[in-house]
Structure 1
Amino acid sequence: MFTHTALASLNDLEMQVYQVVIKQSENVMYMTIRELADAAGVSTTTVLRFCRKMQCEGYAEFRVRLKLYLEQEQQPPIHYGVNEIVSFFKSINNDEFEHLIAQAVAHIIDARRVIFVGAGTSGTLGKYGARFFSNIGKFSSHIDDPYFPVNSDMYKDAVAIILSVSGETPEILRLASQFSLHRCKIISLTNSENSSLAKIADFNLSYHMPLIRVNGGFDITTQVPVLYILETIGRQLAQYLPK
């Protein structure tokens, strides 16, 4: 029901509706459209747009399909947090997402080097990605300092894989612009394909997880999808590399 394509089409307000549906699925079945709108902090018009993007004519049909979807799952309630991760894996368990992974591999396969770019937690994941890709035989490096000086030699025959949850970090966008200016191919891995980074990139993969910030704005949004996507790209890429 919640396919990767459908989730990718949601704007920020519609994503708020999705997050309420995922977190309170058992209750949503019995909510009126106004109650769901209030719970998500949006208008009823936004809820209707969300329903249509889930391939439902209206809210009544959405509630029926949600009830059937939950009944088909036949699984015991799971802890908050795990539910969101399970939902992610269900949304990508299809040929469509496999095709997106294949497209990412196609962008990388002929590159002489792969440069992972990110700051903070994304920088740490970039370092992991560089090691993982190096393990399979693809020469890779990482940049976790957004002020790292980038020279022209770095762009030659390279692909930059840029990681950012929001896709709006100014320093990361500056680096992305430099790569783009020098015609270096960019693959972005963000939480939303509507972000500025996703629009700069030649190719974007998004994972659509609820944003969680604590202690004045520190991001603790789960990065399990990022690890999975990086490893999946790497494993498929390994099939095309010399043994």
Structure 2
Amino acid sequence: MRKNKKLTATQSQIYNYIVANKEQVITITLRELAQILHVAPASVVRTLTALGYKHYYELQSQIREELSRNKVVDDITYQAQYYFSANFLPDYEEKIEQFKQFARETKDFIFFGIGTSGDLCDYGARQFVNNGRNAFAIGDPYYPIELSRDSYQNKTVIVLSVSGEGQPTIDQVKHFREQGAKIVSITNDEDNTIANLSDLNFSYHLEFKIIDRTINLTTQVPVVYLLERLSRALAG
């Protein structure tokens, strides 16, 4: 599906529901979709217009095509193909230039994440070190940031979070901000608490894959790609 980065909160809600329920969307009418979401049909129409669709059936047609392709390849390959073909990739270029500005004023890079995101923080920190910068990772959700005697004015914190809504991560981001650090976040969507607390956010807009309510299997291919892009930018 196409994605416009300038959706309203209601439009983002509609978009996220469609992405997570594609097989249902191709079987129901626009009015039925509006009823499920408790919004006016006009809200759905405006969302489709913002996404670049002229008609609801155009959206359904594209979803059928995507689902058909998904039957041919495994899910990870499909997600990766979709990500690298999406039209929001060019938007990264401007943000990477902003990141370079942060890097010029940064003495230390701190990577912060919990769980799988924490494992990727270790990878990201090593990539930054490989490119000649001082970097380390923190995976402790209760790390006493506020007790540090050193200023964070010259530090940039790179936060990894799929949902952007984990409360321990949110709390730590607030502590980093209070200590003067710049915040760069990588999240699945840009409409979340951590993204809104960030000075710069990179989002990748793929389907959430959650099992047993707590186990997040959302692909991390975009995160690895972004970490490597940012690490390479340090040499620029």
- Aligned residue pairs total 229
Q: How high is the TM-score relative to the length of structure 2? A: 0.81
Over the matched positions of the two proteins, sequence identity in percent amounts to 30
* Correspondence list, 1:199-210, <5 A: 199-210=196-207
Distance 1:222 1:153 in 2: 36
* Offset, 1:211: 1.4
> CA distance change for structure 1 residues 50 and 85 in 2, over 3 Å: closer, same or farther?
farther
- Residue 91 of structure 2 corresponds to 96
Structure 1, unmatched stretches of 5+, are none
CA distance in 2, matches of 1:178, 1:148: 10
Question: How many angstroms apart in 1 are the aligned matches of 2:7 and 2:120?
Answer: 24
1:109 alignment partner AA: R
Classify 1:166/1:14 alpha carbon distance in 2 versus 1 (closer, same or farther; 3 Å): same
How far apart are the structure 2 equivalents of 1:20 and 1:105?
A: 38
Which runs of structure 2 are paired with 1:172-183 in the superposition (5 Å)?
A: 172-183=169-180
Map 1:1-243 → 2, pairs under 5 A: 2-3=2-3, 5=5, 10-21=11-22, 28=26, 32-34=29-31, 37=33, 42=37, 45=41, 47-60=44-57, 62=59, 66=62, 77-92=72-87, 94-150=89-145, 151-153=148-150, 155-239=152-236
Q: Pick closer, same or farther for the CA change 1:11–1:152 going to 2, 3 Å.
A: farther
How many angstroms apart in 1 are the aligned matches of 2:112 and 2:8?
Answer: 23
Letter of the structure 2 residue corresponding to residue 115 of structure 1: I
Distance across 2 between alignment mates of 1:235 and 1:90? 21
- Could you tell me the TM-score, scaled by structure 1's length? 0.79
Name segments (4+ residues, structure 1) moved above 4 Å.
6-10, 60-64
> For the Cα contact (< 8 Å) 2:114–2:141, is it kept in 1?
yes
RMSD: 3.2
Q: What's the CA shift for 1:122?
A: 0.8
Q: 1:230 to 1:221 in 2, by over 3 A?
A: same
Distance 1:236 1:86, change over 3 A: same
Q: Which amino acid aligns with 2:17?
A: Q
Kept in 1: contact 2:70–2:78 (CA 8 A): no
